[in-house]
Amino acid sequence: DIVLTQSPGTLSLSPGEGATLSCRASQGVTSNYLAWYQQKPGRAPRLLMYGVSRRVTGTPDRFSGSGSGTDFTLTISRLEPEDFGVYYCQHYSSSTGLTFGGGTKVEI
């Protein structure tokens, strides 16, 4: 199985600061199948990025994704108050199935 490890567990930042969220895979993964979600309390997750760096319609351009192989990063360039929540990375492989990372909580 592919395990996705997200770090840090919690980020405490102020509006205007930048945030760097890491997602590390236990083995090399296909970039096309790497996605990021944002989840707020009591709400369903919301897809932000797919294919590592492709923003979904409605995702602000302060969000960017990068990485390949086993190391992936979601960067929020200038935090806005609405960016608080838990962020999950996710990967699908036909051989190992679909997995989510454990999440990074962003506190504003």
Partner 1 sequence: QVQLQESGPGLVKPTETLTLSCGVSGYSVSSGYYWGWIRQPPGKGLQWIGSIYHSGNSYSNPSLKSRVTMSVDTSKNQFSLRLTAVTAADTAVYYCARHPQLRYFDFWGQGALVPVSS
- Least Å distance, CB 24 to partner 1, is 15
Q: Is 79 or 101 the residue whose CB approaches partner 1 more closely?
A: 101
CB-nearer residue toward partner 1: 56 or 108: 56
Q: Which is nearer to partner 1, 1 or 61 (CB)?
A: 1
Of 40 and 78, nearer to partner 1 (C-beta) is 40
Burial of 77 (0-12, 13-18, 19+ CB in 10 A): middle
What does DSSP say about strands 10-12 and 104-107: parallel, antiparallel, or unpaired? parallel
We find the least distance from the C-beta atom of residue 40 to partner 1, in angstroms, to be 12
**Contacts to partner 1 by CB under 8 A:** 1, 32-33, 35, 37, 43-47, 50-51, 56, 88, 90, 92, 94, 97-103
Q: How far apart are CA 29 and CA 91, in angstroms?
A: 8
Q: Locate 105 and state its tokens.
A: 């909580």
Minimum separation from the CB atom of position 51 to partner 1 (A): 7
Query: Least CB distance from residue 102 to partner 1, whole Å?
Result: 5
